[in-house]
Amino acid sequence: MTKYYLNNPIYTLVLVLIFLTCCNGQTKTKSQIDNKLEPKSISTGQLKLVKTQGSTVGDNVWCALQDKAGNIWFGTTGEGVYRYDGKAFTQFTHKDGLSSNCVYSILEDKEGKIWVGTSNGICLYDGKHISAIAIPQTIIPMNTPNEYYNEWSTKRSVWSMLQDSKGTIWFGAGDGMYCYDGKIFTRFLDNYSVANKDNLHLKMVDAMLEDKNGNIWFASGCPPGMEGVIRYDGKSISSFKPNGDSWVRYIKEDKNGNLWFGGRSHGNFIYDGKTFINFTAKHRIGNPVLVDKLGNIWFSGNEDDNLESGEIWSYDGKTFKNYTIKDGMGKYFVWCMFEDRNGNIWIGTRNTELYKYDGKFFNNYNE
């Protein structure tokens, strides 16, 4: 009887149909799971950076990073976040879980999770979901001036983020600095063991950097920040205003350990470990936006001259090289620059435009 069923063509056909039905059912179930876990935009990656939110010329490609898997992330101030896998761009916006499409900072932590600082708080992407992360409201101590502590607002902007060598994540928010140790959030200035002789508030910090000696530097942003450069040495915080500039936007460390700072109003300056020195080797350049793997320092154009100027400069320590529209750059002011693992330089500008420089040519990645 066994031999009869194995050689019966009708029985064989039934087995094939059952097998195909089972496989299709398994495939459908997995697809449903994937669609549930991943944002819908995952399946519609674009070859170019396509704008979908009706952003204006004033919106920027503001920040960028490359994660452990090799994906490059770009944060924008009107189009949310884009992820580039080397083949296509995938856009994440409010509909995918972002608390705002205006993104100021982006960070990959040591566990590979992506933190996104927006104009409406913090979001965390764990590889499957985007979730809003709420920082608990600060309890205001008795007899503390109200202007020193502001209550938590769900619409606080997160301008900058940093994970230090100890694993603590720092968040530069609109109302002050917060720290996350992997379990709880604390307001940095609530730590009374930190000496604060200048009564600094650390509001609206545009950039952060931990130097090779373990000091953490903060670049104080626009009002109500305006506290210049701030250094935390593990015991105390101190403020400096080289060139008299209280608004500093960029901090970069070169291969020799020198720190480069980009002032908003009075140019750039360098800290060599002892003193601050005005950088006057090139007149009317913009801020230092990137230090590449070869040690070259890249500057934006001068914003005061023309907000529509897309020029950039590279400096090898001796000579400058200028790149303009004639070389393939766009016409808009450069806001961020990033070097990927392959040595390509990515340039984000106003009007949410993006370019890649491979050492020879500029490639436009706009729609």
Distance of alpha carbon 332 from its chain centroid, rounded?
Answer: 20
The number of beta carbons lying within 10 Å of the beta carbon of residue 271 is: 21
Helix, coil or strand: residue 333: coil
Which residues are registered as beta bridge partners of 131?
124
pLDDT at 308: 65
pLDDT at 245: 86
> Is the distance from CB of 67 to CB of 80 less than 8 angstroms?
no
Tell which residue, 307, 35, 62, has the closest CA to residue 207. Answer: 62
Please enumerate in sequence order all residues whose Cβ is within 8 A of that of 196, keeping only pairs 6 or more positions apart, or say none: 189, 236, 237
Q: Strands, DSSP E only, in 229-360?
A: 229-232, 237-240, 248-253, 259-263, 268-271, 276-278, 288-291, 297-300, 312-315, 320-323, 334-339, 345-349, 353-357
pLDDT at 363: 95
pLDDT at 57: 85
pLDDT at 55: 80
Please name the amino acid found at residue 284.
R
Please name the amino acid found at residue 206.
D
pLDDT at 17: 40
| Cα 297 from Cα 289, distance rounded (Å) | 8
pLDDT at 36: 34
Note down pLDDT in tens along the chain; length 367 residues: 333 333 444 434 433 343 333 333 333 333 332 333 344 333 356 888 999 998 888 899 999 999 999 999 999 999 999 999 999 999 999 999 999 999 999 999 999 999 999 999 999 999 989 999 988 754 444 344 444 334 333 448 999 999 999 999 999 998 899 999 999 999 999 999 999 999 999 999 999 999 999 999 999 987 777 899 999 999 999 999 988 889 999 999 999 999 999 988 888 999 999 999 999 888 879 999 999 999 999 999 876 655 567 899 999 999 999 999 999 999 999 999 999 999 999 999 999 999 999 999 999 998 7
Q: How far is CA 178 from CA 98, 158, 332, in A?
A: 20, 10, 34
Q: How much of the chain is in helix, strand and coil states, percent to nearest 5?
A: 15, 35, 50
> Is the distance from CB of 314 to CB of 296 less than 8 angstroms?
yes
pLDDT at 306: 57
The string of pLDDT tens digits covering residues 232-268 is: 999 999 999 988 889 999 999 999 999 999 988 888 9
pLDDT at 47: 87
pLDDT at 45: 67
Judged on CB neighbours under 10 Å (0-12, 13-18, 19+), 241 is middle
pLDDT at 28: 35
> Is the distance from CB of 238 to CB of 227 less than 8 angstroms?
no
User: In the chain, what are the domain boundaries?
Assistant: 1-37
| Cα 135 from Cα 152, distance rounded (Å) | 8
pLDDT at 336: 96
Q: How many CA atoms lie within 13 A of 93 on its CB side?
A: 14
Tell which residue, 200, 119, 124, has the closest CA to residue 155. Answer: 119
> Is the distance from CB of 142 to CB of 130 less than 8 angstroms?
no
Strand order in the sheet with 216-220: 205-210, 216-220, 229-232, 237-240
The first and second tokens of residue 272, run together, are 């060599």
Q: How far is CA 155 from CA 45, 119, 137, 158, in A?
A: 30, 6, 13, 9
Question: What is the DSSP-derived secondary structure letter of residue 135?
Answer: P
The first and second tokens of residue 58, run together, are 């004033």
pLDDT at 123: 96
Which residues are registered as beta bridge partners of 182?
none
Element (H, E) at 17: helix 9-37
Strands 259-263 and 248-253, bridge-based pairing: antiparallel
The first and second tokens of residue 222, run together, are 């626009």
